[in-house]
Amino acid sequence: MIYIKDLMSGLDIFKALSSDIRIQILELLAKHQSLNLNDLAGKLNLSNGAITMHVKKLEESGLIEINTSVGKHGIQKLCYLNEDKLMIELRKSDVENLYEVEIQVGHYSNYQASPTCGLATKDSIIGDFDDPRYFADPQRIDSEIIWLSEGFLEYRVPNYLKSNQTFREIQFSMELGSEAPGYCDNYPSDIYFYVNGIEIGSWTSPGDFGDARGAINPDWWPPHLNQYGMLKLIRINREGSFIDGCRISDVTIDQIDLDYKSELTLRIAVTDNPVNKRGLTIYGKSFGNYAQGLLVRVLYDVHVD
């Protein structure tokens, strides 16, 4: 999912979507998953020069990704959709009544992991594959990708509210996927989310993706392993709990019973409950398609006596 927090930051995307031809290119890529420039030109009855110009605009906006591969007739450029959802926040929140923090994916405060499992920094694997003991290694705080077949990762979120302030909404943004040995694009996994121990809902990851190389993966990361996930946005407010705008439960921010003294934790888990228990992978700044860790935004109200 591409998430636009404010209209001005989305100008490049809006300009890219202002062309009927570029909209048709996106529709073709959504239907066929990937097409080379000749395919697109033929389907749209355009010259290669014209299609190249439109594709460049889409790539610059981040809507599509282009990879070079060797085909039967030499080198070709394959085009893919970068994401399958676009979310735009039209009503900008009062910037004075929110704070944001980014937590590295290796900065978990508690964990449980079962093989297949492992961690890696941007430079190397930590310890050995499928050995949960390395989840306690001091170097784990530098992890930029973490995977496990069963268990959880729990993160402590700083609570900066003052005594005259109350929580209105909490947002979590992260890149997630399933966990298969190697990778498997069709590998659904039910991933659950808990705030302060309260289950707020779940999301089913479609797979552990490896059909294309992650856009920001380090060069040493092997091609036979998972490459990228999907960017998810979780919101808990006074109306309920949502992921990418879709309700996942009726649990509200008030039911979590937070105040300025509260500890705040997020747990991401694969438990014994799900129908699809196929693990989870979380991607940090140096892996996957998005250069971010766990992003947290807290919106709050201020009360004047």
Per residue in 112-167, pLDDT (tens digit) is: 999 999 999 999 999 999 999 999 999 999 999 999 999 999 999 999 999 999 99
pLDDT at 11: 82
What mean pLDDT is predicted for residues 265-289?
91
pLDDT at 34: 87
What mean pLDDT is predicted for residues 174-190?
95
Domain range list for the chain: 2-81, 93-302
What mean pLDDT is predicted for residues 58-76?
81
User: What fold, for 93-302?
Assistant: Jelly Rolls (2.60.120)
Could you tell me if 21 and 54 are in contact, meaning their C-beta atoms sit under 8 angstroms apart?
yes
Rounded distance, CA 74 to CA 89, Å?
Answer: 43
pLDDT at 92: 58
**Taking all residues of the chain, what is their mean pLDDT, rounded to a whole number?**
91
What mean pLDDT is predicted for residues 48-59?
92
pLDDT at 178: 97
Judge whether residue 189 has pLDDT over 90: yes
Percent of the residues in the chain that have a pLDDT greater than 90, as a whole number: 75
274 band by pLDDT with thresholds 50, 70 and 90: low
Query: For 73-115, what is each residue's pLDDT tens digit?
Result: 677 888 988 877 787 777 655 456 999 999 999 999 999 999 9
**Phi, psi of 297, rounded to the nearest 5 degrees:** -125, 130
Helix 48-61 × helix 37-44 angle, to 10° = 110
What mean pLDDT is predicted for residues 49-60?
92
pLDDT at 95: 54
| pTM of the predicted protein model | 0.76
Q: Nearest Cα to 293, choosing from 178, 174, 205?
A: 174
Q: Minimum mean pLDDT among 21-30, 76-85, 255-264: which range?
A: 76-85
pLDDT at 72: 65
User: What fold, for 2-81?
Assistant: Arc Repressor Mutant, subunit A (1.10.10)
Q: Which residue has the tokens 């694009």?
A: 185
pLDDT at 119: 97
Q: Nearest Cα to 63, choosing from 79, 82, 89, 80?
A: 82
Structure tokens at 222: 């092997």
